[in-house]
Homo-oligomer: A and B are copies of this chain.
Amino acid sequence: MNNIFEVPQPGDDLVEKADQVRLASIKISQTENKNRIKALNFMADYLEINAKEILEANLEDYAIAEKKGISKALLSRLKLSKEKLNSGIEGVRKVGELADPVNQVQIKKELSEGLILERKTVPIGVLGVIFESRPDAVMQISALAIRSGNGVILKGGSEANLTNTAIVKALQEGLNASGLDKNAICLLTSRKDSMSMLNLEKYINLIIPRGSNELVKFIQENTRIPVLGHADGICHLFIDIDANLDMALSVALDSKIQYPAACNAIETLLVHQDIAKTFLEKAIPLFNSNDVKLIGDKRSVDLGLKYEASLEDWRTEYLDLILSIKIVDDLEEAITHIQKYSSKHTDGIITENISTANEFMNVIDSAGVFHNCSTRFADGFRYGFGAEVGISTQTLPPRGPVGLEGLVTYKYFLKGHGNIVDDFSSGKVLFTHKDL
């Protein structure tokens, strides 16, 4: 990867910009909930006011990209229709309706008489967001950042530069009109700046990458700033000996085909040997009729699969209508396979046996462990978080689908009236440690 991307040291210009965002972020971190909601409404208003300009910028981006021969998939993500823009604007307003993630009291206790400890949520500071194409992401992530009292430095794909610039101009006008510092949202437009961001650990507190696995992986490996996101999504579904086979077929199909390009779609199906024959007799025609290419281990090829899997298949995220199948001796072999190949995103089991389900769910160390349901439910909106900032596959929190809570941290507020530790060491005063 090192020959594709580079991580140059940030230039003075970038440091200057980042410092402005940092200063603006300190101001916005002090704003009341109602003022942040007001800012979101102004941001939406100014997107509407500038809609014509934004759509024209997008037409221009599109024409340039088309001339350059950019792929159809990229072109379709780049395209910002009037409907897409309107739904993006609606989205900005909707973020205002989410519960305020800031100033939530997590701990409140008396340490000793008149010495009160509070742990409250506070904004993280400055977010660095690197995304590819999709100008609608600018609106969404800016809204989430402002909602949670953070500043944000955005870097989008260069093919959407004109669109992104027009959107950010409107968002800044909105911020300004609402009385907040417009520097809280900043757009970088050169690739050099994009990568230099990774060295801005003094200014950026969290990097949120939105793009290909390669981009995310590169970012994770080339910055000391915490990264909220995940590279691979290699999810498994295990069909146990005690599975209801109709349910197994329906959930397996949904987990694969409902949206195969999603990170929470399954890549590998593990099937208990004792039901493999019956299951595959129904599964093979079902997947075939849904255009899913099945690639299996030796035993499943013996039971009718056309393509034999190589070792590489077990660690491949197809993101496509391809599914690898492995027949396992028992629960233990299924668990061992998952422990070896899972990307710790989401892994599920289909079984009517509660104790088997519990063992699977307890032992599998993934952000999501699912029983008798589709892995496609692993998603911030489906979990009811109202928003999804990203999905994290790291072990430490935040883990799994992350809503607005991923954009705040906490700090400890201790208020006394002259309390000193020496009085406690000498035994003159005692700790009470009472929850309030």
* Known interface pairs A420-B254, A420-B258, A421-B382; A414-B363 also in contact (CB < 8 Å): no
Taken residue by residue from 237 to 268, chain A's Cβ proximity to chain B (1 for < 8 Å, 0 otherwise) reads as 00000001001001101100011000000000
Decide: A421 and B365 in contact? CB cutoff 8 A.
no
Contacts of A400 in B (CB 8 A): 411-412
From A124, which residue of chain B is reached at the shortest CB distance?
A: B395
Selected from B111, B226, B368, the residue in CB contact (under 8 A) with A383 is: B111
Contacts of A416 in B (CB 8 A): 370-373, 377
Residues of B contacting A370 in the complex (Cβ-Cβ under 8 angstroms):
413-416
Interface secondary structure of A, over-half rule: mixed
Is residue A155 within 8 Å, beta carbon to beta carbon, of the partner chain? no
Q: Does A425 interact with chain B (Cβ within 8 Å)?
A: yes
Q: Of B226, B254, B366, B371, which contacts A396 at CB under 8 A?
A: B226
Interchain CB contact under 8 A, B226 and A421: no
The residue from B226, B244, B384, B399 contacting A409, defined by CB atoms under 8 A apart: B399
Interface residues of A in 345-377 (CB under 8 A from B): 357, 361-363, 365-374, 376-377
Q: Contacts A413-B361, A414-B368; is A125 near B395 (CB within 8 Å)?
A: yes
How many whole Å from A236's CB to the nearest CB in chain B?
15
Kindly state whether residue A26 has any CB partner on chain B within 8 Å. Answer: yes
Q: Mark A67-99, 1 if CB is under 8 A from B, else 0.
A: 000000000000000000000000000000000
In this assembly, does A428 line the interface, its C-beta being within 8 Å of a C-beta of chain B?
Answer: no
B-facing residues in A375-424 (Cβ within 8 Å): 376-378, 382-384, 394-397, 399-401, 409-422, 424
Contact of A422 with B258 at beta-carbon distance under 8 Å, contacts A111-B384, A366-B411, A368-B414 already known:
yes
- CB of A30 within 8 Å of the partner chain: yes
Residue of B125, B224, B259 touching A365 (CB-CB under 8 A): B125
Q: Are A377 and B226 in contact (CB under 8 A)?
A: no
Assess whether A52 is interfacial by the CB under 8 Å rule: no
Pick the residue among B115, B258, B371 that contacts A414 (CB under 8 A): B371
Query: Is A341's beta carbon under 8 Å from chain B?
Result: no
Q: How far apart are the CA atoms of A111 and B370 in the complex, in Å?
A: 13
| Contact across chains for B377 and A115 when beta carbons are under 8 A apart | yes
Q: Select A377's contact among B29, B259, B396, B419, beta carbons within 8 Å.
A: B419
Q: Are A258 and B425 in contact (CB under 8 A)?
A: yes
Q: Is A117 part of the binding interface, using a Cβ–Cβ cutoff of 8 Å?
A: yes
Do A421 and B367 touch (CB < 8 A)?
no
Check B369–A411 contact: CB distance below 8 A.
Answer: yes
A282 at the interface (CB under 8 A from B): no
Q: Which A residues, 117 to 151, have Cβ-Cβ distances below 8 Å to chain B?
A: 117, 122, 124-125
Residues of B within 8 A of A420 (CB): 250-251, 253-254, 258, 373-374, 376
Q: In the complex where A109-B384, A250-B418, A422-B254 touch, is A411 in contact with B367 (Cβ < 8 A)?
A: yes
Distance in angstroms between the alpha carbons of A382 and B433 in the assembled complex: 8
Interface residues of A (CB under 8 A from B): 26, 29-30, 109, 111, 115, 117, 122, 124-125, 205-206, 221, 224, 226, 244, 247, 250-251, 253-254, 258-259, 357, 361-363, 365-374, 376-378, 382-384, 394-397, 399-401, 409-422, 424-425, 431, 433
Could you give 25 example pairs across A and B, Cβ below 8 Å? A26-B365, A30-B363, A109-B384, A125-B395, A206-B396, A221-B224, A226-B396, A250-B420, A253-B420, A254-B420, A258-B422, A367-B412, A369-B413, A370-B415, A371-B414, A372-B418, A373-B415, A373-B417, A376-B420, A377-B419, A378-B412, A383-B412, A397-B397, A399-B411, A401-B412
Given A258-B420, A377-B421, list of 8 further CB < 8 A pairs?
A: A30-B363, A117-B383, A125-B365, A125-B395, A247-B417, A372-B415, A376-B421, A382-B431
